[in-house]
């Protein structure tokens, strides 16, 4: 895709990673953060809508409190509380110079997972953009529940890093472009920090399993890595958004991108146009329950876009209520889809393996033939 076409966008989410917001000493990279603000202000003045997803709170708090590690319970949360207000003071000062109002929004997994909160957040963010505000979003690490492993054992949470958070925000707001700025130029055929033969990939037309396999783990300080960036790119391109992964350490990188410089890896939207509801089912909810299905049901769901019938169910794992989203896994345990269930886990156990005609006999009532209706299934 031509750069010009790629950059023909109105609504942009820009994610700034920890390693671009702080310098080698762990202090805030002042000139860089102000240059981001200067660049973003230009975009806003030119009529674009910009949402910032910022990391850096934990890192700045850790520095302020002179701590070596954040491993002990509650320490990361405390650092986030200290660092977040420092972080916001830079945004407030910088955007203030350009007379652009900003808003702080701190989010947890439940703000996406609980549909009424998700919808209300969307309304608020749209209102802020209408008022010409730049929303500055971060994970609310101070209260985030992902640290409470006992309660959440086995649960897949909607996000636990800012790469996925920025993809969920892009999806929620139907953003045209997500820009992920970190300390790497973009995607390579292998990790360039370890392998000098690594080749740069300037354009990705589809985030396939092969592309996902190029993902590496987080660099020091941040929680995301290339892996989470590729997962973010997959979600955004599936609903028709574009994604650019670029190096935030290049001076004035945002202005350079918008002046057409060939920087970063572009991810081109697919033709799938995943609907808002399917995005929410596939990506935005926390998932605990699992339904294991046989190969016939897997094929019917993946290749023929069919509903999940009780006859294809092999096993039910964990408890869930009617209307909750569950993982749909094959007999090897690989999750290949997610769906919103018509029956709770107890009912599913009683009807699994049987023909839909027997649901009435087994339960004494029958509201649906399918355990998950095709419209409520998202392939992963
Ligand atoms: N929310 C974290 C912070 O502000 C960063 C999360 C991430 O690196 O993805 O420090």
DSSP codes joined into one string, 147-187: G-HHHHTT-B-S-SSHHHHHHHHHHHTT-SEEEEEESS-SE
Ligand 1 touching residue 62 (CB < 6 A) = no
Q: What span, in angstroms and rounded, lies between the C-alpha atoms of 312 and 293?
A: 5
Per-residue confidence (pLDDT) for residue 296, from 0 to 100:
97
DSSP string across 84-139 = HHHHHHHHHHHHHHTT--EEEEEE-THHHHSHHHHHHHHHHHHHHHHTT-EEEEEE
Q: What span, in angstroms and rounded, lies between the C-alpha atoms of 327 and 104?
A: 33
Gap from CA of 57 to ligand 1 centroid (Å): 7
Compute the half-sphere exposure of residue 138: CA atoms within 13 Å on the CB side of its CA.
25
Gap from CA of 212 to ligand 1 centroid (Å): 22
> Mutation test of ligand 1: which of 162, 163, 165 has the most ligand atoms closer than 8 Å to its C-beta?
162
Write out pLDDT tens, residues 169-184: 999 999 999 999 999 9
Q: What span, in angstroms and rounded, lies between the C-alpha atoms of 186 and 245?
A: 5
Q: What span, in angstroms and rounded, lies between the C-alpha atoms of 197 and 309?
A: 49
The closest-lying atom of ligand 1 relative to the alpha carbon of residue 18 is: 8
Write out pLDDT tens, residues 289-310: 999 999 999 999 999 999 999 9
**Is residue 213 a contact partner of residue 231, using CB atoms and an 8 Å limit?**
no
The closest-lying atom of ligand 1 relative to the alpha carbon of residue 161 is: 9
Instruction: From 336, 343, 342, select the one nearest 378 (Cα to Cα).
Output: 336
167 in the Ramachandran plot: left (φ > 0), alpha (ψ -120 to 50) or beta? Answer: alpha
Q: What span, in angstroms and rounded, lies between the C-alpha atoms of 31 and 106?
A: 25
Instruction: Look at the chain and count its residues.
Output: 380
Beta bridge pairs of residue 221: none
> Mutation test of ligand 1: which of 19, 21, 56 has the most ligand atoms closer than 8 Å to its C-beta?
56
268 in the Ramachandran plot: left (φ > 0), alpha (ψ -120 to 50) or beta? Answer: beta
Gap from CA of 368 to ligand 1 centroid (Å): 43
Q: What span, in angstroms and rounded, lies between the C-alpha atoms of 373 and 339?
A: 8
Write out pLDDT tens, residues 244-286: 999 999 999 999 999 999 999 999 999 999 999 999 999 999 8
Gap from CA of 332 to ligand 1 centroid (Å): 33
Q: What span, in angstroms and rounded, lies between the C-alpha atoms of 182 and 263?
A: 13
Instruction: From 348, 377, 353, select the one nearest 367 (Cα to Cα).
Output: 348
> Mutation test of ligand 1: which of 26, 33, 139 has the most ligand atoms closer than 8 Å to its C-beta?
139
Beta bridge pairs of residue 178: 13, 243
For 225, other C-beta atoms within 10 Å of its C-beta total 19
Ligand 1 touching residue 226 (CB < 6 A) = no
- Total-model pTM: 0.92
**Mean confidence (pLDDT) of the chain:** 93
Per-residue confidence (pLDDT) for residue 219, from 0 to 100:
60
Write out pLDDT tens, residues 21-71: 999 888 899 999 999 999 999 999 999 999 999 999 999 999 999 999 988
**Is residue 69 a contact partner of residue 125, using CB atoms and an 8 Å limit?**
no
Protein residue with its CA nearest to atom 5 in ligand 1: 55
Distance between the two ends of the chain, CA-based, in angstroms?
Answer: 25
Residue 148 has pLDDT above 80, yes or no: no
> Mutation test of ligand 1: which of 17, 58, 107, 167 has the most ligand atoms closer than 8 Å to its C-beta?
58
């Amino acid at each position: 895709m031509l750069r010009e076409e790629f950059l023909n966008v109105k609504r942009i989410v820009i994610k700034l990673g920890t390693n671009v917001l702080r310098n080698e000493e762990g202090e805030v990279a002042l000139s860089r953060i102000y240059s981001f603000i200067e660049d973003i202000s230009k975009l806003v003045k030119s009529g674009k809508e910009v949402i910032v997803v910022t990391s850096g709170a934990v890192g700045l708090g850790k520095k302020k409190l002179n701590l070596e590690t954040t491993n002990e319970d509650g320490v990361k949360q405390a650092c986030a509380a200290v660092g977040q207000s420092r972080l916001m003071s830079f945004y407030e000062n910088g955007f203030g110079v350009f007379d652009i109002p900003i808003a702080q929004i701190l989010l947890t997994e439940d703000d996406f997972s609980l549909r009424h909160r998700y919808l209300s957040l969307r309304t608020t963010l749209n209102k802020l953009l209408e008022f010409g505000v730049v929303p500055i979003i971060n994970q609310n690490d101070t209260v985030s529940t992902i640290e409470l492993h006992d309660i959440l054992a086995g649960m897949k949470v909607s996000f636990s890093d800012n790469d996925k958070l920025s993809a969920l925000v892009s999806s929620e707001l139907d953003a045209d472009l997500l820009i992920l700025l970190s300390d790497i130029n973009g995607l390579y055929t292998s990790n360039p920090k370890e392998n000098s033969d690594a080749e740069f990939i300037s354009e990705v037309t589809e985030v396939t399993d092969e592309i996902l396999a190029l993902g590496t783990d987080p660099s020091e300080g941040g929680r995301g890595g290339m892996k989470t960036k590729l997962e973010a790119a997959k979600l955004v391109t599936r609903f028709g958004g574009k994604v650019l992964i670029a190096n935030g350490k290049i001076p004035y990188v945002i202005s350079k991108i918008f002046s057409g410089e060939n920087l970063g890896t572009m991810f081109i939207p697919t033709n799938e146009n995943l609907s808002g509801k399917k995005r929410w089912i596939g990506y935005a909810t926390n998932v605990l329950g699992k339904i294991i299905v046989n190969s016939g049901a897997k094929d019917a769901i993946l290749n023929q876009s069919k509903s999940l019938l009780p006859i294809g169910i092999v096993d039910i794992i964990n408890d869930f209520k009617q209307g909750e989203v569950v993982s749909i896994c094959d007999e090897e345990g690989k999750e290949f889809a997610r769906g919103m269930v018509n029956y709770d886990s107890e009912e599913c156990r009683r009807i699994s393996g049987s023909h839909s005609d027997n649901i009435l006999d087994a339960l004494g009532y029958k509201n649906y033939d399918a355990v998950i209706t095709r419209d409520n299934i998202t392939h992963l």
